Amino acid sequence: MIRLENICIKIGNFRVEEVSFEVPSGGYCALMGKTGCGKTTVLESICGLRKVTSGKIFLMGRDITRERAANRGVGFVPQDLALFSTMSIREHLSFALMVRKQGAKTIARRVDELAELLGLSLLLDRKPNGLSGGESQRVALGRALSASPDILCLDEPLSALDDETREEMFVLLKRVKQETGVTTLHITHNMSETNTLADMLLRMEEGRIVQPDHGG
């Protein structure tokens, strides 16, 4: 569950004001709005990468407003993916587990599971340089899911993909939703993404939520 209560964020002259919403556990919420309306800022505040001026953030019932990003249990896929250029795909998928000092067998099992789920088995020993857009997306998604987070935050994950790859990613994101039951917040500009994937829609304008709605 993601719950925001009266979140305010100030960045220079830009303000996100009084943002409140709740995404139930296992829900898939699309957050829509024009570029610059504050969607990414809200997403970053949930991930712990942006300090809020006031208000509270609850994840799975726990107040994590002042919690460090590392301790929030949020998987994050940024818009530019930010893959680690020096690491192999296998290292991407095992990164979060290595940080948590999991054993080699646990890590290997989880990497195989994710590679199977996301169709990355043949790419495990490659580096991100030279991967296609869809492959890079799947790696970023696998990296975010590797530590089995409760929450998944996706910042326009399909915006740079061609139509065919986008359709493939729809299928994959639906499968991830079914198999992991992770609560997802997905920023998008695209109505077809919202209709296909989301069971809840939020719309933002100039730093405010203007239309809490149920779609899908």
Partner 1 sequence: MKQAKPKPHRTHSDAPFIIGLCLLGGIYVFLIIGMLVADAAYLSPKEFLHIFKSPEIRYATRLSLISSSLTTILSLWVAVPIGYLLSRFKFPGKSLLDAVLDIPIVLPPLVIGLSLLIFFQTGLGKAIEKVVPVTYAIPSVILAQFMVACAFAVRTMRSTFDQLNPRREDVARTLGCTRSQAFWMVAFPEARRGMLTAATLAWARSLGEFGPILLFSGATRMRTEVLPTTVFLEMSVGNIEGAVAVSMLMVIAAVLVLVIVRLWGAEENLR
27 belongs to the binding site for partner 1 (CB under 8 A)? no
d(CA 110, CA 93): 8
Instruction: Report residue 77 as tokens.
Output: 């896929």
Q: Among all chains, which residue has been given the structure tokens 């590392």? A: 70
Contact present, 31 and 42 (Cβ < 8 Å)? yes
- The least CB distance from residue 111 to partner 1, in Å, is 14
d(CA 75, CA 70): 10
47 belongs to the binding site for partner 1 (CB under 8 A)? yes
Residues 82-121 that bind partner 1 (CB under 8 A): 82-86, 95-96, 99-100
Return the number of other C-beta atoms located less than 10 Å from residue 168's C-beta.
17
* Choice from 48, 142, 157, 207 touching partner 1 (CB under 8 A): 48
Rg (CA), the chain: 17
Taking the least distance from each CB to partner 1, the nearer of 160 and 199 is: 160
74 belongs to the binding site for partner 1 (CB under 8 A)? yes
Residue spans of alpha helices (H) in the chain: 39-47, 89-99, 104-118, 133-145, 163-180, 191-197
35 belongs to the binding site for partner 1 (CB under 8 A)? no
Considering only the stretches 71-79, 114-122, 166-174, 196-204, report the one whose residues sit in contact with partner 1 under the rule CB under 8 A.
71-79
* Choice from 1, 8, 49, 108 touching partner 1 (CB under 8 A): 49
Contact footprint for partner 1 (CB under 8 A): 47-49, 68-72, 74-76, 78, 80, 82-86, 95-96, 99-100, 127, 143-144, 146-147
